[in-house]
Every structure is written in C-alpha cells, then in structure tokens.
A = this chain, B = another copy of it.
Amino acid sequence: MTDRFVSNFTNRLDAKGRVSIPASFRAVLAKDGYEGLYVHPSLDLEALDAGGHALRATIDDILSRFSPFSDEWESLSTALNGTSEVLKVDPEGRIMLSGTLRAHAGIVDAVTFVGHGHKFQIWEPARFQAHLEAARSRLRNVKRTLGSHMTMTPGATGA
C-alpha cells in the first residue's frame, strides 16, 4: 500500500523546528514524483493539508474551471495559491513549518500526520485527538439515529 496516505504518526519538532515526515508517507510522495511538499492551511479546520502532485492537481483542477477574473477564482486562489507553501524536504526527509503554518494549526513542539488517501493532514496532537473524538461521536450519533438500518454499506464503514 504505497500509493495512498493512511494511518497517523506523531513526531516531535527539534530545536530548529524541523520534523520528520513519516517514512511511509515519504514512500507515497516518492511514487508521486515530488519535489518539495505542497502545504496549505485547511479552509475550515485548524490543520494543514499536505501532499504532492496529486494534491496540487486537485487545486489546479478546481481553479481551472473558473475564469481568472471571477470572484470565485479570486477567493479560491487567495486561500489556496496565496497561502500554499512548497516546503523543501531535507536529505533526512524532514520539513520546516513556517510560523504562519504553525500558527494556523497551533503547532508548538510536536505534530500528528494523518493520512487521507491522496493527501494528508498535519495537526497539533491534542487538537487532533479532540477532532478524532468529535468525529467518532458524530458518527455514533448518526448511527444511533439511523438505528438498525445502518448496515455497513461500502464507504459508510468507518472502522
């Protein structure tokens, strides 16, 4: 399974602010043929979205469907292109998060990498735990509401 980002890993930042990208994620990025890690603040979460060409391609694809002079293009491009960073990956597989990125996610001295298939997220560990719990309880409520009719259809199976 080297073509999708899965699982989660928590690594520490060193004194210089560097942090290792999990080895399994590096393998995915390598297959994707990357030069630098593409990162931008999530539009609606206190987290960062990161990835390689696959992530970049989805952004370009979305923007390409709007006229460069439209308001939608302006807003999307400002939020995505304008706040994206292409982080260099050092020979050891580490990156450095800018102050802006760290601030957006509340990152201090450790981060949690969370696989999302074609991309992955970067969280402050405690915030991710809270986010995970929230997601789980949300799913529990949905399941309770639906009762016995929730019969594990493909894609609905979270676990």
In the bound complex, how far is the Cα of B38 from the Cα of A124, in angstroms?
A: 26
Within 8 A of B (CB), among A102-144: 114-118, 121, 131-132, 135-136, 138-140, 143
Q: Which residues in B have their C-beta under 8 angstroms from that of A84?
A: 6-7, 115
Bound complex: CA A85 to CA B62 (Å): 29
Find A135's partner among B65, B79, B131 (CB 8 Å cutoff). B79
The 7 closest A-B pairs by CB, nearest first: A65-B154, A75-B135, A78-B135, A82-B114, A7-B85, A6-B84, A1-B86
In Å, the complex CA distance between A55 and B20 comes to: 30
Residue of B nearest to A8 (CB): B82
Chain B CB within 10 Å, residue with most, of A85, A115, A131, A140: A115
A92, CB-defined interface residue at 8 Å: no
Q: Of the candidates B45, B58, B65, B81, which one forms a contact with A68 in the assembled complex, judged by CB atoms under 8 Å apart? A: B58
Tell me the nearest residue of chain B to A53, going by C-beta. Answer: B1
Question: Which residues on the B side are within 8 Å of A76 (C-beta)?
Answer: 135, 139, 152
A118: chain B residues within 8 A (beta carbon): 68
